[in-house]
Amino acid sequence: MFLPGTKCTGANCRGHKLFNTGASSTAVDQRKTFSLAFGDGSTVSGEQFDDTVTIAGLTATGQRVGAASTYSAGFALDVSPPDGLMGMGFQQISVFNAPPVFQTLVSEGKVTESVFGFTLLESGSELFLGGTDTSKFTGSLAFTPVTEVGFWEINFNGASVGTKSIFTTATDSIVDTGACAANLLFGLL
């Protein structure tokens, strides 16, 4: 999870709300930097802090957050209106080597179930934390175990759209919203 920090003064940070670690009574400087590069060529770098993070009324304490000092053009306001990004992958692939927000919420007992879901739309996409929003789909869900922790890797036995099979041979796959929406983008209140 990262947001533009107060040291993010370049053109690509303009218009975004800034994460002011000095104004937070719970921010603790970890005296570590971070640097991320994404598949589209976007980059971000800055400093790591632990802080209290609240999302939709759920509070994670001691949560690792990046206060970015540089945003590449891919995070400029006209390209990416949200202020920051919150990844949903596991700690094993985190550049911070710290639990992501959802895993912190689970370990702190803040959610009723260790389940989350996305509704991905051109407009009105949502993240549902701690259960399943049954108003967003028809039919039943099939749950499958994660086969390798890091990405959400599962063994996929096949897929079809309507009556047309797309593939029928079992394959290892990852479930990744990043392919659709560059993880979860969000803004500061």
Predicted confidence (pLDDT) per residue in 47-64, tens digit = 999 999 999 899 999 999
Least confident range of 28-42, 51-65, 152-166, 175-189: 175-189
Least confident range of 53-57, 69-73, 164-168: 164-168
pLDDT higher than threshold 50 for residue 92: yes
Q: Tokens standing for 82?
A: 């949200």
pLDDT higher than threshold 60 for residue 121: yes
pLDDT attached to residue 176: 77
- Mean per-residue pLDDT, 133-138: 88
Q: What is the DSSP letter of 141?
A: -
Residue of 14, 17, 10 lying closest to 45 (CA atoms) = 10
pLDDT higher than threshold 60 for residue 182: no
Share of the chain above pLDDT 90, in %: 57
pLDDT attached to residue 46: 98
Helix, strand, coil percentages (3-state) for the chain, rounded to 5, are 15, 40, 45
Contact 2, 34 (CB under 8 A): yes
CA–centroid distance for 134 within its chain: 22
- Mean per-residue pLDDT, 161-172: 83
Distance CA 183, CA 85 (A): 7
pLDDT higher than threshold 70 for residue 187: no
pLDDT higher than threshold 70 for residue 181: no
Q: How confident is the model at residue 178 (pLDDT cuts 50, 70, 90)?
A: low
